[in-house]
Amino acid sequence: MLKLWCLPLVLCGSWCAVSAVPMQLSHFMTLSFGAARGFARWGLNSTHVEIELTFPTTGWMAFGLSPDGGMDDSDVLFGYVDDTSREAVIQDRYLEQDPATYRVNFQLDDQQDWKLVYGMQNNTHTIMRAARKLQTCDKQDHPFTRDGQNVIFALHPRDPAGKTGPIIKHSARGNSIIDFGEALPAINAAKFHC
């Protein structure tokens, strides 16, 4: 009996340590906020995406999947590290901009799909890592796609007043086009919302 118990431990050795290692973030993209730079690193497995954002701010940061590079109808990962408590806050949000009035609505999704992996800040930068299912079955989310996915990103030097308080407009923002990678399983956008 003792031998049977020991065997898996012996075989395990370094292998078990390997399986506990976080997902490899093998993709990398520079995010340009005018003169300032941020970074996104991400990885995929068959069910999830993990993304790590490094932004030049100690306030809030946001990274969104956008239909066309604009704000309207974007699915946004929003977060900050509280300057006082050092708590890392990650939120799943949805951005709308009225095409006539340009009024912006930046709401929490009813279903929160991003899970915090870690978040920290130093005097100049915030790093946040979060995981999400590729298929969330949430009508307020967009799929990660292979070809020409428009992304938007923004930051502000200060934390929001609270987790549900109003968010002050960005001091810097940008957009880009990303290929999230061939490892992405073929998720038909039409079927994304389940």
Ligand X SMILES: *[C@@H]1O[C@H](CO)[C@@H](O)[C@H](O)[C@H]1NC(C)=O
Which residues bind to ligand X, rule: CB under 6 A? 23, 45-48, 50, 54, 122-125, 127, 131
89 binds, among ligand HEM, ligand X, none (CB under 5 to 8 A by kind): none
Both tokens assigned to 150: 């428009």
Q: What are phi and psi of 120, to 5 degrees?
A: -155, 160
* Cβ closest to ligand HEM, residue 23 vs residue 54: 54
* Cβ closest to ligand X, residue 46 vs residue 85: 46
Instruction: Find the shortest distance in angstroms from Cβ 103 to ligand X.
Output: 34
Residues interacting with ligand HEM, by CB under 6 A?
62, 64, 70-71, 76, 95, 104, 106, 152-154, 167, 169-170, 173, 175
The set of residues, in sequence order, having a beta carbon less than 8 Å from that of 15 and lying 6+ positions away, is: none
Both tokens assigned to 112: 């929160």
**H/E element holding 13?**
helix 2-19
* Cβ closest to ligand X, residue 58 vs residue 66: 58
Residue 167: name the closest of 76, 101, 100 by CA: 76
130 binds, among ligand X, ligand HEM, none (CB under 5 to 8 A by kind): none
Separation CA 26–CA 48 (nearest Å): 14
**H/E element holding 92?**
strand 88-97
* Cβ closest to ligand HEM, residue 38 vs residue 43: 38
Instruction: Find the shortest distance in angstroms from Cβ 106 to ligand HEM.
Output: 4
